[in-house]
Amino acid sequence: MASEPARVPSMVDLLGRPANTPTVLRVALGIMLRNWREQRGISARAAARHLGCSESKISRMETAHGQSQLSGQEVASLLALYGRKDRRLLDDVRELVRRANAPGWWHAYADLTPEWFETFLGLESAASQIRVYDAHHVPGLLQTERYARTVTWAGLSRLRRRVTREEVQRRVELRLARQDLLTRQRDPLHLWAILDEGVLQRRMGTNAEMAEQFDHLIAMTELPNVVLQVVPFDFGGPGHAGGPITHLRFPAPHLPDIIYLEQAADALYLEEPRRTEEYLRIMEDISRGAESKQESLAMLKRAAWRYH
């Protein structure tokens, strides 16, 4: 069964929302380009021939989650092919392209982050709701500075290359900067984090660092926009998750839900309803198998007590 097309973005909505990140604007423009092409009955191959590029480039422009810079000239050429010649529309699209190509706040860390993760930072910054499941570590949005430093050192050491303290510190700073989403005054991010009990048992640092991390998690559960659950060892369901899962939902109605699956050296971004619904079912199963918010809090307190 074919998936339903994403709702076409409103130019007024896109340009009128200062909070829309460049990544989100590129995603939205890709949806618009795909919609206009399909309305004219033009294949991606024909659009590629028109631009003199590969078909995969057209696909990246339309569906690659804003990972590539957009060329204003190429977009204008596609609009002409698709019969979109209204002067006001062309001016609005040019402004959209300009803003979509602007650097995000995370650009200062571009030397540390691969392109596929920059995409995630842009999506995360624009999301209104995020649900994440992790069986290995406390999610980045909830890590303390010392826990984040330990996790970062461990991750970089597996790359078998020279790592400096400065690089580690800047990576930690980036992670902590992301956490402002949870405490900003206007429209704070709603986070639903589901942790495997193994996260509570896995030592990442000294006793003091672990106690600090669990005390922080306990404090974060007091925020009205944060929900935290723990999956006990006796629940067998998380095995079919296959790894960490992040579900992003956006306030703008034209943007589809996105499932983010981070891997060792890259990541997958899923937006087709058939695929996202599959992972949402997995998340629902895990959530039902997890302890209640109250019992999860009790588990966190017991974990903190062990390290104090």
- Local mean pLDDT, 10-residue blocks, the chain (308 residues): 47 56 84 90 94 89 69 90 88 86 87 87 92 95 97 81 88 96 93 95 94 97 96 75 86 84 84 90 92 96 94
| Distance, CA of 70 to CA of 63 (rounded, Å) | 13
Query: pLDDT at position 64, please?
Result: 55
Query: pLDDT at position 68, please?
Result: 64
| Distance, CA of 76 to CA of 57 (rounded, Å) | 16
Locate the DSSP E strands across the chain. 129-134, 190-196, 226-231, 245-249, 258-262, 267-270
CATH of region 11-102: 1.10.260.40
Query: pLDDT at position 240, please?
Result: 58
Query: pLDDT at position 2, please?
Result: 42
Q: What is the pTM assigned to this prediction?
A: 0.85
**Sign (positive or negative) of CA dihedral 189, 194, 200, 202:** negative
| Distance, CA of 66 to CA of 61 (rounded, Å) | 7
CA 27 to chain centre: 13
- Pair 146, 212: CB distance under 8 Å: yes
Query: pLDDT at position 70, please?
Result: 79
Six token digits for residue 302: 């017991």
Query: pLDDT at position 264, please?
Result: 72
Query: pLDDT at position 3, please?
Result: 43
How does strand 129-134 pair with strand 190-196? parallel
CA 113 to chain centre: 14
Query: pLDDT at position 107, please?
Result: 87
Give domain limits for the chain: 11-102, 111-139+181-307
Tokens 């204003």: give the residue: 72
Please state which CATH class domain 111-139+181-307 belongs to. alpha beta
Tokens 């992040």: give the residue: 246
Question: Angle 87-100/72-81 helices, nearest 10 degrees?
Answer: 150
